[in-house]
Amino acid sequence: MDLLLILTYTAICVVIFKIFRIPLNKWTVPTAALGGVVLIGSLIFLMNYNHPYSEFGQQYFVTTPIIPTVTGQVIEVPVKGNTLLKTGDVLFKIDPTPFKNRLTSLQAQLTMAEADLKRATELVAKNAAAVRDKEQAQARVNQLKADTANAQYELDSTVVRAPTEGYVTQIAVRPGMMAASLPLRPVMVFVHQEPYNYVGWFRQNSLLRLKAGDEAEVTFDGIPGKIFKGHVQYVFTALAEGQISPSGNLVEMTRATQPGRIPVLIKITDPNFQPFINVLPGGASGQTAAYSQHFHHVAIMRKILLRMTAWMNYLFPFH
């Protein structure tokens, strides 16, 4: 940004010297240079402080790692990658044979236990058996009912379904593979069909001029030459660089070598952005400018420079 402003001033000086045929001597050149330092320095200070810019921005999306409830062999993967799914659509199926067998066994045991409970009840009514036998039979029935319900749940879980509307991408699971119900071994990643969150990462000295509701503009590397309007939705008050978790180690200085940036959630409200929502991939990067109410007339410089940056995105070697 600063380089673009300096180059613009240099180009203006060259044009003025050429048009008015100003001689290059020890007075004119230092005057132009000193004037540029004062003018550009003041403008850059006012612009950077009151209308901060972030060259790092990212679209973030929420995913759910798909982990089966039961462990078994995959027998079918009907889902297709990058295809919109509805809630409950089948992602893949696990061999249900062992779970069916366990359910059948428990149902048979439950039938016998219920028969035993019936006989114990009849004997108690005839004073031919102790009440304790009936209570034991009743407990056995209750236990088997719970085990049967769990077995039915496990059998139903052999069909893994989409948790919400969304899609899966980069499907690597195939029939014959083992799917394990381990948190560290997800079978696939499910991307939820919901608006992406765009976050601009601003320098910490911009914190005093970043407020929710301020006007903002965004340009994406993947959509060169386009500027989309929005506003600051939320300024996060915690940085990941300062996060600590309970452990046996003390916080050391080496963790403070890299200063963190302030994550700022930007809400893009420009209607011209709608056609590009499905074009931009999740994780697309861009640049962001936020405009405060202070020195509002200087914001025009930031807007011009942001548009120059948007056109520079046509030059792919820069990214």
CA distance 240 to 67: 27
pLDDT digits (tens, 9 = 90+) for 168-204: 988 889 999 999 988 888 899 999 988 889 999 999 9
pLDDT band at 235 (very low <50, low <70, confident <90, very high): very high
pLDDT of 129 over the 70 cut: no
Residue with tokens 């301020």: 214
Predicted pLDDT of residue 105 = 96
| Cα–Cα distance measured from residue 278 to residue 269, given in angstroms and rounded to the nearest whole number | 15
Within 8 A by CB and 6+ apart from 56, the residues are: 200, 201, 261, 285, 287
Mean pLDDT along residues 230-241: 90
Give yes or no for a contact between 201 and 56, defined as CB atoms under 8 angstroms apart: yes
DSSP letters of 97-160?
A: HHHHHHHHHHHHHHHHHHHHHHHHHHHHHTT-S-HHHHHHHHHHHHHHHHHHHHHHHHHHTTEE
pLDDT in tens, 137-156: 889 999 999 999 999 999 99
Once rounded to an integer, what is the mean pLDDT over residues 281-299? 91
The pLDDT value given to residue 2? 64
d(CA 236, CA 144): 52
**Local confidence band at 253 (pLDDT 50, 70, 90 cut-offs):** confident
Q: What percent of the chain has pLDDT over 90?
A: 52
Tell whether the model's pLDDT for residue 1 goes beyond 60: no
Under CATH, what is the fold of the domain 64-192? OB fold (Dihydrolipoamide Acetyltransferase, E2P) (2.40.50)
Domain ranges of the chain: 1-50, 52-61+194-239+259-319, 64-192
pLDDT tens string 26-36: 888 888 888 88
Pick the CATH number of 52-61+194-239+259-319 from 2.40.30.170, 3.40.47.10, 3.30.70.1450, 3.40.50.720: 2.40.30.170
Of how many residues is the chain composed? 319
pLDDT at 17: 82
CB atoms under 10 Å from CB of 247, counted, come to: 7
Contacts of 172 (CB under 8 A, 6+ apart): 188
Task: Name the phi and psi angles at 150, rounded to 5.
Answer: -65, -40
- Note whether 52-61+194-239+259-319 and 64-192 share their fold: no
Confidence of residue 128 (pLDDT cuts 50, 70, 90): low
Q: What is the pLDDT of residues 205-226, one digit of tens each?
A: 888 889 999 999 999 999 999 9
What pLDDT, on a 0 to 100 scale, did the predictor assign at position 202? 95
Residue 14: pLDDT band (50, 70, 90) is confident
Q: What are the pLDDT digits (tens) for 58-80?
A: 999 999 999 999 999 999 999 99
Q: Please enumerate, as own/partner, the contacts of 271-276 that have beta carbons within 8 Å and a separation of 24 or more.
A: 272/226, 272/228, 273/228, 276/220, 276/223, 276/226
Q: Please check whether residue 209 is in contact with residue 49, taking contact to mean a CB–CB distance below 8 angstroms.
A: yes
Q: What is the pLDDT of residue 18?
A: 85
- Rounded to an integer, what distance in angstroms lies between the CA atom of residue 48 and that of residue 306? 12
